[in-house]
Structure 1
């Protein structure tokens, strides 16, 4: 049966007309196959219209276009059924019927898998969670929703028109999921590119950190070498002062000198404990250098005093 569709903008209703009624039938019933077919066609038409509008918004915002033929093919994967039909209002004076029924939409496993994969790339809830968030009943890949519609033949009995006015939540949900399917490859490419960029950035940061660590290590080694050189100079000067003293003077100062050496070692080790990480050795060497230079002056004075009063 050939169907013709007319979209009435502004009212939220879509009217779908079909060929004339079967021979000998002047009225249409809610549970007629014609009626149920019209309801499904309305849903498909609304779904295509809604998803097409979303695609246009996507393109306007800089996103990639979606092939319209692919959109229609994706929607055809959805299997729709109208069941549990009831006539909610039947006016004997009119040929119009007001109906209620359960619209069931079966989502293929591949459809669900692609949609969920697509949503993970944007950290979105899966379609089961999305249904719950929108107060929709999705069980075992079947979406069930109570719909209200009306059917009425034309006065000449050549066509039947149907209106459906409460299926917007289902249309919005199916449009979102359909767009998820259509955008899976694009989102996957975006995700792969983002991961690659993050990895490259991490590698660059790691290389910069490694270079910075190398420079810091090299500089620290230089500081340690410089500090040790200064300590060696100070020790050499101290040794020259010590060796220049008379033996009897050295013997008298030996116990004091040994005690000072132990003090220098312990005091500088303690001081180095408060240094910044990695700089403990530099701090210890600098401390020993400072104490050695001070001891050098003290030792000179002590030796000079002892030698001045020592018997010839």
Structure 2
């Protein structure tokens, strides 16, 4: 799996506005309820797209012969994104863009962490915590904490607002990899059992071949000894 070489872009999504009373004259407020809901939607969409790309690679590599591919994407529903305390960082006077930040907490169920770590250990991959440290992600007790940066912008018509996430790629990589390894755990275990059985069969076959060679060698040595004995007797008679 190419789990450590992902390139994630900042996705943009849009949401129709139900009323203009929630807007400044040209800018969307960072704490606008529709806008923060849209940010959560973008996070979920990004995770699903990341898992979809991972799934295509796994299918292409023939890595999930005994698993239901749909289960990987469904596992994304177990991830909880919580947003709190939005802040306005910058209101661009020359455009309708508003730069915002907000405290994001990503919660991954403990059973998925456990499965992911067990699968990782079987293939000598980094644990969830070790990968988080490598990525510089603030991870502790099944939770990821991040000050998420995003940009809000209404369309020219003012009927929709666009949200662009700026700094979630490392977090998304960690969550995507965690779900992928948890999903692959049964396949990894089955492959290891099959590999062990193949190794044992090869050892038995090699042992059988070794014993057969030993028997043939002993028979050849016995035949040579008998021939030498007959030859010696012939010399004595002569």
TM-score by length of 2: 0.75
Alpha-carbon distance in 2 for matches of 1:80, 1:94: 29
Partner of 2:16: 19
Using the alignment, how far apart are the partners of 1:118 and 1:47 within structure 2?
A: 20
Aligned residue number for residue 129 of structure 2: 128
Q: Unpaired segments of 5 or more residues in structure 2?
A: 1-7, 230-238
Task: Give the C-alpha shift of residue 170 in structure 1.
Answer: 1.6
- Once the two structures are TM-superposed, the CA of residue 139 in structure 1 deviates from its matched residue by 0.1
1:205-284 to 2 correspondence within 5 Å? 205-209=206-210
Q: Structure 1 regions of 5+ residues with no counterpart?
A: 1-10, 230-312
Please give the alpha-carbon distance, in whole angstroms, between the structure 2 residues aligned to 1:218 and 1:195.
Answer: 34
What per-residue deviation string (whole Å, max 9, x for no partner) do you get for residues 108-149 of structure 1? 012112212222332212211111122212100001223210
Query: Which position in structure 2 is the counterpart of 1:174?
Result: 175
CA deviation after TM superposition for structure 1 residue 25, in Å: 2.3
Would the aligned equivalents of 2:72 and 2:183 in 1 still touch at CA under 8 Å? yes
Q: 1:54 Cα shift?
A: 2.1
TM-fit CA distance, 1:172: 2.0
Describe the shift of the 1:67–1:20 C-alpha distance in structure 2 as closer, same or farther (beyond 3 A).
farther
1:107 aligns with 2:104: no
Distance 1:199 1:219 in 2: 30
Report the CA distance shift for 1:215/1:160 in structure 2 as closer, same or farther (over 3 A).
Answer: same
1:59 corresponding residue in structure 2: 59
User: What SS does the corresponding residue of 1:13 show, helix, strand or coil?
Assistant: coil
In 1: Cα distance, 2:216 partner to 2:206 partner:
15
For residues 87 and 129 of structure 2, the distance between their equivalents in structure 1, rounded to whole angstroms, comes to 28
- Give the corresponding residue for 2:99: 98
Q: How many residues align?
A: 222
Q: Does 1:37 align with 2:43?
A: no
Which has the larger share of helix? 1
How far off its partner does 1:81 sit? 1.1
Greater C-alpha Rg: 1
